[in-house]
Chains A and B, each alone.
Chain A
Amino acid sequence: MDKIIVTVIGKDRPGIIASVSKSLYLMECNLQNVNQMVLQNQFAGFFVVEHPTCLTLEAILSKLEDDLNGQNLKIHADMLDTKVNGSNNFDKGSISSKDGASEEIFFITTIGPDQKGLVARFTEIIASYNVNVVNLTAIFKGGDDPTANIMSYQVAINPDTDQAGLFKSIRNKAKELGLDISIQHKNIFETINKI
């Protein structure tokens, strides 16, 4: 069996996952991993699929497009590179990268109203320190509710990272933009929220 990743995007409504998984099932494909999210009203789903070797990528994509025709969904399929490419499990507070060095996950969270180019400005700093963002949540709905005006970056810091320099630059940028900022190791969130 070979692996592909199928991405499905479209306006959210009941039954999208059902239609995709049924189509894949009828092709005797096996779902290994599924993840979905809804941003505003747009659905995005990711399906890691094991498929019979007799089926080509193109054949699977074409069958999916036929089965989902009329549902106004954009479908994309790609071969999945199964080699371990650095950090492959971001759910742990401390993880091993390809060279065996330990990475630590920190949460950089800002609270404050939206401004143009906010994500771009922060990610530019993070990238300049060669640090990978492993997860990003950004919600800007306006109003006073802090949960409606939050950016939270999960970044993987490895031993070679200039951690103090990165955090200082980020804090300075937040101050310049008038945002409230917290930088904390992931374990504190685990400790408080996952009992």
Chain B
Amino acid sequence: MFNSQEIISTIEMVKNEHLDVRAVTLGINLFDCISHDLNVFKKNVRNKIVKKASNLVSICDAVGEKYGIAVVNKRISISPIALVAAPFSASEMVEIAHTLNDVAREVNIDFLGGFSALVEKGIAVGDSSLIEALPEALAQTQRLCASVNVATTRSGINMDAVLQMARAIKKASELSKADDGLACAKLCVFANIPQDMPFMAGAYLGVGEADAVINVGVSGPGVVKKAIERAVEQSPNIDLGKIAEIIKNTACKVTRVGELIGREVAENLNIRFGVVDLSLAPTPTVGDSIGEIFQTLGLTSIGVPGSTAALAMLNDAVKKGGAFASSHVGGLSGAFIPVSEDLNIAEAAANGYLSIEKLEAMTCVCSVGLDMVPVPGDISEETLAGIIADEMAIGMINNKTTATRIIPVPGKKAGDKVSFGGLLGEATIMNVPHATNRDVFVTRGGRIPAPIHSLKN
């Protein structure tokens, strides 16, 4: 039996606090599609994705309807294309990108991730073709997402790959100039990329995964914010230990919802359930923001002193609640702070509360990195590579995932507005100090060795 308070609070979470399932991502292994013939490979890939995913959207919608909880995004992640399409040239990789974009449209999903390479220790032939193909592939398609892992705690940072990625990002930006560099919003550079992440743009299906798997990304910044707000209203002097407890309990509920939906979708598709990614993922909607949580905690804005501590507490409490709720937690599992995708964070950047340096500091204690950060279009490749290398170092040393999704906006400078549309949101271009420097550090290449704590065996 449920009392009316329990019924109302559940309904409130869905209706007014933006509780939803942010992403149900179907991972599809493409290793059995491999061929030396491009046309055969493309045909195999299309057939396999359509076979596995043709009912994904309708089943997600039906399960969402049953529980009254929307599954906002239905997506697909695939085996890294640099591996399964290793024999092909860069121009052939672009053709593959078109095939993937077409099949994503055919099965009615908004993003397909896995145009990816894993190059933390070195760049193989397939990786090289894929990185070369990235700018055109992303500028010419709409639904394809790409990620390249350039560092791990075990292997160090591949600085050759870092520089190549900086060049690829600059070129992708130029090729999508008419859309303010939109191609870069579909490209992540990673350290310690997880194999089972449901969130775009970094989702791909790891080589140790099953033939097909369902991974789920929960949402919930709005629910967490409301829970803190209620507690502060009831006791204005509530201490942070108690607030952390509230976040933990709320994260637990949110995670259980995600797992319930994910398992049911997986069962209906007759596919194995993988993991719940606990990440608090915001949208550019008022009331569904990570930034607003900082204000509820008593900070003027995200980015002011105290923000890193607040984020550390939030991130940790979310993990603790989520880990209790589900035995299969994976992906990124933390809090996202994407600048343009979170209305409040975008405003904090526009109003001068949040600088790119503070954002980097905050990524030391949360799950992603410099995410959806628009920067001036004239940023040099070297400075861009330097920002990427710094972020990768944070991930490598702290044994955690970090990433960059930086968008140089052609022809625009710091303070100008940019809009990417939909969930990608809009923001003011952030100031990057010394943006046009051409420091040689990043051009020296080679590999920054793995840290001492990688020697665990």
Contact = CB atoms under 8 A, between A and B. Distances in A.
A146 interface: yes
B4 A193 contact: no
Contacts of A139: 4
Contacts of B252: 195
A185 B68 CA distance: 8
A147 B67 contact: no
A152 B1 CA distance: 11
Interface in B221-268: 252-253, 256-257, 260
Interface in B161-200: none
Interface string A73-113: 00000000000000000010000000000000001010100
Contacts of B67: 184-185, 187-188
Contacts of A109: 7, 11
B11 A182 contact: yes
A192 B11 contact: no
Interface in A159-184: 180, 182-184
A111 B2 contact: no
Contact of B1 (A111, A135, A182, A187): A135
Contacts of B9: 192-193
A150 B8 contact: yes
Contacts of A32: none
Given A182-B14, A182-B68, A184-B67, A146 B8 contact: yes
Interface on chain A toward B: helix, strand, loop, or mixed SS? strand
Contacts, number: 67
Contacts of B456: none
Contact of B2 (A182, A185, A193): A193
A191 B257 contact: yes
A128 interface: no
A163 to B, nearest CB: 9
Interface on chain B toward A: helix, strand, loop, or mixed SS? helix
Interface string B1-18: 110111111110111000
Interface residues of B, number: 23
A107 B69 CA distance: 14
Given A182-B11, A185-B67, A192 B256 contact: yes
B66 interface: yes
A150 B4 contact: yes
Interface in B359-400: none
B9 to A, nearest CB: 8
B7 A150 contact: yes
A33 interface: no
A184 B65 CA distance: 8
A69 interface: no
A137 interface: yes
A152 B3 CA distance: 10
A192 B257 CA distance: 7
Contacts of A147: 4-5, 8
A25 interface: no
A188 B257 contact: yes
A111 B5 CA distance: 12
B8 to A, nearest CB: 5
Given A184-B68, A188-B67, A193-B2, A152 B260 contact: no
Contact of B6 (A135, A182, A184, A193): A193
Nearest to A195: B252
Interface string A112-123: 000000000000
B222 to A, nearest CB: 15
B5 A185 contact: no
Contact of A195 (B1, B69, B256): B256
Which of A152, A192, A193, A195 has most chain B Cβ within 10 Å? Answer: A192
A40 B139 CA distance: 66
Contact of B69 (A91, A111, A188): A188
A16 to B, nearest CB: 21
A169 B400 CA distance: 51
Given A135-B1, A182-B15, A195-B252, A152 B7 contact: yes
Contacts of A187: 67, 260
B4 A137 contact: yes
Interface string B59-78: 00000001111000000000
A111 B8 contact: yes
A188 B4 contact: no
Nearest to A151: B4
Nearest to B5: A147
Contacts of B68: 182-185, 188
A182 B253 CA distance: 19
Interface string B321-333: 0000100000000
Contacts of B260: 187-188, 191
Nearest to A139: B4
A192 B15 contact: no
A183 B64 CA distance: 11
Contacts of A152: 2, 4, 7
Nearest to B11: A182
A184 B11 CA distance: 9
A185 B66 contact: yes
Nearest to B68: A184
B208 to A, nearest CB: 29
Given A192-B253, A193-B2, 6 more contacts: A109-B7, A139-B4, A146-B8, A147-B4, A185-B66, A195-B256
19 contacts: A111-B8, A111-B11, A147-B8, A152-B2, A180-B15, A184-B10, A185-B67, A187-B67, A187-B260, A188-B68, A189-B10, A191-B257, A192-B6, A192-B9, A192-B10, A192-B13, A193-B6, A193-B9, A195-B256
Interface of B: 1-2, 4-11, 13-15, 66-69, 252-253, 256-257, 260, 325
